Each structure stands twice: as C-alpha cells, then as structure tokens.
Amino acid sequence: GGLAGGRGSRARRYPGRVSATDAPGQNPTAAHEDDAPEQVRVRAEKRARILAEGGDPYPVQLPITASIAEIREEFASLEAGEEREDVVVGIAGRVVFLRNTGKLCFVTLQDGAGRRLQAMLSAAKVGADSLAAFKADVDLGDHLFVHGHVGASRRGELSVVAAPGEG
C-alpha cells in the first residue's frame, strides 16, 4: 500500500491530469471538461462571467501603494474603531480567510512572507451591487487587490476599509 508509484502499486488516472494513456498532444483538461473537479468548473464559470461583464479577471497592473508590512508597521498604534480616512492605500495579497456577516465582509490577505492584513467591505461604503459581486466572485486562494483607507475594526484589528471600485 502507501504511496502511488511504489513497488507493486497501480498507477491511478485522475481526470484533467496527463497520464501515460493520454494521446500525445491532446489537451487532457479539454478532453475531460465534464469530469473537471468542481473547483475548476466554478472558477471557469466565474472567469467567463467577469469577462462577459467587461472585467479583467487577471489584471496585469494594479495601483499598489503599500505592502502589508508597511501598513502594519506604520499604523500599529490605531485604536479599535479608529479610521484614517486621509490615508488611502492599495494593497494586494492572497485570500486566506473570508467571513460574510450580511452587509459586511471581512477578508484576510496574506503576502509572500506570510504577513496578513484584514480588509473590510461594507454595503454602506462599496454599495450593495459591489458587495454582492465580491461575495459571488472571491474565493479562498484568490489573489485580491483592495483599495481604501486604513482603520481598525471595532475589535481592534488593523484593516483596509474598502472604497468603491472605479468604473
């Protein structure tokens, strides 16, 4: 038993992955589209919807103004509930946590060094349609850009309070 490929084990064939039985030059993902894992299908559908709505699911450039580390260092002293609406930043990171409380969403972004920062999105600030799009389109593991001002949540968590998107 144990590991695949070990002595006496049988090779397993997984849908959407290249195996010795795939024809040379064949696109295994296209050949097994109906067998694609649910996550692949869901992400492909979201990508298609974003493109159909005129959006860019994979922008080449983003207006990043600060790193997570810079924001954490500069604003570590903010008190719970304090907001610095005069400090607008653009940050990016990988989504490692999502929490939806109805008209308010919390998302934790992580940079390549493992530093994390929370972003807050509220229907009051970004609008109900933008919040609904966020809930429909963003998943754990996605890379996300957030533009907004720096603040601390009511529980004191340093955050970027998302502003409405452009266009």
CA-closest candidate to residue 115, choices 58, 61, 73: 73
Across residues 134-140, what is the average pLDDT?
89
Residue pLDDT, tens place only, 35-94: 788 878 888 888 888 788 887 777 777 889 999 999 999 999 999 999 999 999 999 999
pTM: 0.69
pLDDT value, residue 163: 92
What is the sign of the dihedral through the CA atoms of 67, 158, 129 and 135? positive
Q: Classify the phi-psi angles of 11: left when phi > 0, otherwise alpha if psi is within -120 to 50, otherwise beta.
A: beta
Residue pLDDT, tens place only, 2-36: 333 344 434 444 344 443 444 444 444 444 556 78
pLDDT value, residue 137: 85
Q: What number of H helices and E strands is found in the chain?
A: 5, 5
Across residues 98-105, what is the average pLDDT?
91
CA-closest candidate to residue 125, choices 77, 62, 83: 83
Residue pLDDT, tens place only, 72-87: 999 999 999 999 999 9
167 pLDDT higher than 60: no
pLDDT mean across residues, the chain: 80
How many CB atoms neighbour CB 119 within 10 A? 22
pLDDT value, residue 44: 85
Using CA atoms, how far apart are residues 117 and 69, in angstroms rounded to an integer?
Answer: 9
